[in-house]
Amino acid sequence: MKALVLIGGFGTRLRPITYTVPKQLIPIAGKPLLYHVFDLLPPEVDEVVLATGYLSDAIAAHVRAHPLPIPIRPVPEATPLGTGGGMRNAGDDLSDPFLVFNSDVVADVDTSALIRLQDQRAGAGVMALYEVEDPSPYGVAVLGPDDRIERFVEKPERASAPSRWINAGVALWARSVLESIPRGVPVSFEREIVPGLLPQGVYGFRFSTFWEDAGTPTRLLNAQRLLFQHGRAAHRGRPPGALGSAQVAAASTARATGASFGDFVTLDEHAVVEPGAHLANCVVMAGATIEREASVIGSIVGPGARVRAGHRLQDGILGAAAEG
C-alpha cells in the first residue's frame, strides 16, 4: 500500500517562521512535525509519496538526509493545487486503496484498524474522525448506521454545525476516487469532492485518544504537549547540566548548562541556552540562542534567532535570525 502526504500548503498562520521553514519541518517533541505524521504509517505501507509545493526543495532535502526504512518520493506542484489537486497531481502511482495524511496534525489513529474497516465496508473510503468542542474550523461529518457518513460540511458556522465529529486529516480512499478529481487545476478535496463520494459509501473511523491540528502557534505547542504526555516525544532527554526534571527533548548538539526548564520544551540542533535562562512550553529551533537570564514561555524561536539577555518572550514567535 502507498501513503500520500499533503505537504504543499503555505502555513500562513505560522509566519514568520514559515517564510523560510515549512510548517512540517518545525521540530516539536524532539523531531519535525512531519516525522510525527510518519509515526502513523502502518506496516502495510511500502512507499510514501509527498505532494509538495511551497518550499518543496527544503522538504526534499530534509527527507533525503533523514530517510525512513521505506522510500519517500516527493512530487512537487508547480502551482498550488489545493488538497484535491495535490492528490491528483501526485497520485499517478498510488495503490488501491491508498492512505492520505494531512501533514500538520498530530493524532493517535490506529491506521491498520482503519484499513481493516475499509476491507469490511468496501465503499469509496474511510475518514478518521475526532470529536471536538468547536467543529467550525474543520470538516464536519454526520454519521448514520454503521458509522456511514451521511453528510459532510466543510467549516460550518459554529451554531449550525451538524455534529462535533471532524475530519482528522487521515483517510483511506479507493484509487477510483482520484479519477473524480480534475487534473491540473486547484481543487479542495473536502469541499468539492467528498460530498459527491458519499453515495458510494464513505465511513467514519472514530478515535478518541488525542488529536490536534498544529496549524497555529498555540495549537502547535498544544500538539507538542500532547505528544510528550502520550509518550510520543523523540527520546532525546535534557541537555547535560540543565536544571530541573522537566520533559525536554534536546538534540545532542544543544547546550543548556545552568539553564532551568519547565515541561514541554524542544531544543533543536546547536541551540544554545545560556546560564540563568528559563524555558517552558516552547520550541527553540536550530542554532537559536537564548541569552543569560532570558525567559521563553509559550513561544517558538526560529532558526538562528536570538532572545537577548534578561528579555522575556511570552506567547511569541520569532522568525529566522530575528532578535527579541
CA gap 26, 8 in Å, rounded = 15
CA gap 224, 267 in Å, rounded = 12
Nearer to ligand GTP, 25 or 267 (CB): 25
Which member of 13, 164, 225, 312 binds ligand GTP (CB under 6 A)?
Answer: 13
> At its nearest, how many Å lie between ligand GTP and the CB of residue 135?
15
Touching ligand GTP, residues 147-186 (CB under 6 A): none
Nearest to 279 by CA among 267, 299, 297: 297
Nearer to ligand GTP, 59 or 320 (CB): 59
Touching ligand GTP, residues 104-123 (CB under 6 A): 104
CA gap 176, 173 in Å, rounded = 8
Q: Are 63 and 7 in contact (CB under 8 A)?
A: no
- Cα distances from 173 to residues 93, 242, 264, in angstroms, run 14, 47, 35
294 binds ligand GTP (CB under 6 A): no
Stretches 101-109, 146-154, 238-246, 314-322: which one binds ligand GTP (CB under 6 A)?
101-109
217 binds ligand GTP (CB under 6 A): no
77 binds ligand GTP (CB under 6 A): yes
19 binds ligand GTP (CB under 6 A): no
102 binds ligand GTP (CB under 6 A): yes
Locate cell 497520485: which residue?
Answer: 91
Nearer to ligand GTP, 5 or 271 (CB): 5
319 binds ligand GTP (CB under 6 A): no
Say how many Å lie between the first and final Cα of the chain, rounded: 47
8 binds ligand GTP (CB under 6 A): yes
Which member of 27, 30, 74, 86 binds ligand GTP (CB under 6 A)?
Answer: 86
- 2 among known catalytic residues: no
Q: Are 285 and 268 in contact (CB under 8 A)?
A: yes
Q: Are 287 and 305 in contact (CB under 8 A)?
A: no
Stretches 1-9, 160-168, 244-252, 291-299: which one binds ligand GTP (CB under 6 A)?
1-9
> At its nearest, how many Å lie between ligand GTP and the CB of residue 235?
26
7 binds ligand GTP (CB under 6 A): yes
HEC per residue, 200-249: HCEEEEECCCCEEECCCHHHHHHHHHHHHHCCCCCCCCCCCCCECCCCEE
Q: Are 185 and 85 in contact (CB under 8 A)?
A: yes
Which cell numbers in the block locate residue 268?
533543536
Stretches 78-86, 112-120, 156-164, 264-272: which one binds ligand GTP (CB under 6 A)?
78-86
| 112 CB neighbour count, 10 Å cutoff | 11
Chain position whose Cβ is nearest to ligand GTP: 9
CA gap 220, 27 in Å, rounded = 10
Touching ligand GTP, residues 197-216 (CB under 6 A): 215
Which member of 53, 84, 125, 302 binds ligand GTP (CB under 6 A)?
Answer: 53
Nearer to ligand GTP, 59 or 265 (CB): 59
DSSP class of 262: -
Which residues are known catalytic residues?
155
Query: In the complex, which residues of this chain contact ligand GTP (CB under 6 A)?
Result: 6-13, 23, 51, 53, 77, 80-83, 86, 102-104, 215
